[in-house]
Chain A
Amino acid sequence: MTATLETEGGNLLEVRGLTKIFGTLKACDNIDLTVGRGEIHALLGENGAGKSTLVKMLFGSLEPNAGEIRWNGQVEQISSPGAARKLGIGMVFQHFSLFDALTAAENIALSLDDDTPIATIAAKAKALSYSYGLPLDPYSLVGDLSVGERQRIEIIRCLLQTPQLIILDEPTSVLTPQEADRLFETLERLRSEGKSILYISHRLEEVKRLCDRATVLRHGKVVGHCDPRKETASSLARMMVGNEVQAVVRDPVQGMDKAAALLEVRNLSRTPATPFSIPLRNINLSARAGEVIGIAGVAGNGQGEFFEAVSGEVQQQDAANVRIRGKDAGRLTISGRRLLGAAFVPEERLGHGAAPRMRLSENLLLSRHATDRKAFLGTAGTVQTRAIATAAQRIIEIMDVRKSGPDPEAAALSGGNLQKFIIGRELDRRPAVMVVNQPTWGVDAGAAARIRQALIELARSGSAVVVISQDLDELFEISDSIAVMHNGELSKPLPIAEATFEKVGLLMGGAEPGHVEPVAELA
């Protein structure tokens, strides 16, 4: 023990044999990790590799089953987030731990233990935020802010506690490329001030650019330590996934201008349904047979509202607002639109895409009872159990859905496997129009590649596919053109040959003429 202290006394954080078990699943299995002072340390791994579980143990929100955590060479029991903060560990959460109904300053005040007046905190937060180039209006209500601005609050809140170690959990997954650049500058400045950063990501390019060392996790185990600057993106990916990820193949399409428009959205506007939602402003979009249109945008810019309007979850005043295969569909319900040949995959899997407590076969019937009435239902409306079971089995095999029993409840599947089933359920109908919101969110790299390839193939077989996603890499991989949603407006689609990360990123930030400038930036 003394030997360890002498040899590695310079390290800020040392983790030895940390293990966390949920039921029968070893989320973290005997993890070793060392973070030095003034270093940006990357924690790499796919979704479900155990990254979030590991940092939750470091931050005291989860209790390890075994293993020890050394802080400045001392063994510490981190029993609560409060204890972690006292030691000097700060965390910026992936799913923000903010309060919508409170102001930015009140949110910050909640994580400071002393009784400093809100006004003082607001002034401090404002000064600090400007000094780091992350301007923030401390009196704005969190519910009104964009995701990028919310993250600023989290970061400023964390910095005000003057931590030695800052843990960032997938910080760029919700940012525009330009916002991400600003974040990287902030992190580099923090490193130069001697602070340590534990940076969790599955984006390899940014890890290569930013991080000094990396620890790679797979299935809850450490599979390697490396210097990311000396690796290539594909060698890092191999460590993360365990084998080569099949690249998605996308043949360019010919004669697109002559193809028929299968999905048309015309002058679609919508007033906000709740105080915290976004209005849609005069959206026009036309998706033709054979093409994949990608819709990019920072989360919370109206993508969800747009999807609801197109899928029929919310109907329009004017039937011509949405046209499917040349027929007015604006006043049709979801089933009505499905009967015209459209298929929809919402973002939220449990509760929207599938009923959590119902079996897969039942979920299949729920979404296709109208379109496949003849196959799935008898003359008196009785359920044809065998036909449905056969169809479910077909989808499970084609999409390689991994599950525990023969026909489990939807909630019993992992997020990625359920998503494969939901996408497969719609693809199985060979729909003429397919609209998908966040097709691969939380899906591992292998399955994501499979889903993307399936969407491209559907388009090439003569359907129109619209993909809404926050993952720019994904959109560049599969789209024939990319449109950007910002503040409820949709830009003109950029053909993929003309689209660059920079152009799309500027549009995501609202740079196109005619777009409303974000007000909070200057406040």
Chain B
Amino acid sequence: MFESILITIATAATPLLIASIGELVVERSGVLNLGVEGMMVMGAVTGFGVTLATGSPWLGIFAAIAVGALFSLLFGFLTLTLVTNQVATGLALTLLGLGLSGMLGEGFVGQPGIKLGNLDIPFLSDLPVIGRLIFGQDPVFYLSILLTVGVAWFLFRTRAGLTLRSVGDNHGSAHALGINVIGIRYLAVMFGGACAGLAGAYLSLVYTPQWIENMTAGRGWIALALVVFASWRPWRVLAGAYLFGAVSIGQLHAQALGIGVPSQLLSSLPYLATIVVLVLISRNRRLTMVNTPASLGRPFVPDR
């Protein structure tokens, strides 16, 4: 019982974590992409459709990553090359993704899906309590943890990561130093899109292996909020995603037990808890200030 709750928590947290880590990299480069929800839902429908057609969930996942990146490329072209307003363009991307995925997925509704299999390491997976939690999950779960470690290492331990942070801090200075601001932002935006696509595919291939219209159900927005409340730091994003996952699974169990609290209040608990905790840990304003990308959302037009 306890073990299965832990596993459902991990499953609920993983798509949030992947989408947030992607968006974190985007925002660290100074771009605000509000289209996470749209890219996620496109990833979900692509992953499901391709898996259905080919029978291989792996192909579905790769297709979802590609579609997410491609979709974000559209955002990049509009905001970086044509310098449209990032907020409006991001919102449009979300609306476009929701509509387009509904249309593409019309034939998939009600079709049985194929679930991406779990890892099964003999002996280790059979350990009590932690066996399945640590050694018997789906591969994307491990990937999400690797992604967090990798992004944390990239941002704070490599020269390329330093360059990316510098672009987000002050794009004017970065340009004056000869750094290719637009190029770096394109790469960051596409990384964010790929992550959102993967997170979407996780929903339709692992979390609930089926296609339902609007199946992301606001998770893209949660991911965006997590990035801000985690003050743009990868490990805090991980903590936030798992906290959110834990409280949302916990409140489901509480509702099932029928305790005398209105279900609406219980349903809002994950949001409340995540906000409260992340606000508490980001009380150190100095650290927050240093980690906030100062150029976030500001349009950049180099003068030549």
Contacts and interface: CB of A to CB of B under 8 A. Distances in A.
Interface string B236-251: 0000000000000000
A151 to B, nearest CB: 14
Interface in B159-209: 159, 162-163, 165-166, 169-170, 172-179
Nearest to A60: B178
B31 interface: no
A249 to B, nearest CB: 41
B180 to A, nearest CB: 9
A82 B289 contact: no
| Chain B, interface SS category | helix
Contacts of A61: 175-176, 303
Contacts of B166: 99, 102, 106, 110
A223 interface: no
Nearest to A61: B176
Interface in B249-299: 285-286, 289-292, 294
Nearest to B158: A115
A109 B165 CA distance: 13
A275 B285 contact: yes
A21 interface: no
Contacts of A82: 178
Contacts of B162: 102, 106, 109-110, 118
Contact of A101 (B172, B177, B179, B290): B290
B291 A97 contact: no
A81 B177 contact: yes
Contacts of B159: 109, 115
A106 B165 CA distance: 10
A101 B179 CA distance: 17
A81 B291 contact: no
A116 to B, nearest CB: 9
B178 A97 contact: no
A141 interface: yes
A258 B117 CA distance: 91
Interface in A154-176: none
Contact of B178 (A80, A115, A276): A80
Contact of A141 (B173, B175, B176, B290): B290
A201 to B, nearest CB: 20
Interface string A85-110: 10000000100111111100010011
Contact of B289 (A62, A106, A109, A276): A276
A63 interface: yes
Contacts of B304: 62-63
Nearest to A117: B159
Nearest to B175: A61
19 contacts: A61-B175, A62-B303, A81-B178, A93-B176, A98-B173, A99-B170, A100-B169, A101-B169, A101-B290, A102-B165, A102-B169, A110-B162, A110-B177, A111-B177, A274-B289, A275-B286, A275-B289, A275-B290, A276-B289
10 A-B pairs with least C-beta separation: A82-B178, A81-B178, A97-B173, A275-B286, A97-B176, A99-B169, A275-B289, A63-B304, A101-B169, A101-B290
Given A143-B289, A275-B286, A276-B289, 18 more contacts: A61-B176, A63-B304, A81-B177, A82-B178, A96-B173, A99-B169, A99-B170, A99-B174, A101-B291, A102-B162, A102-B166, A106-B162, A110-B179, A111-B177, A118-B162, A143-B290, A275-B289, A275-B290
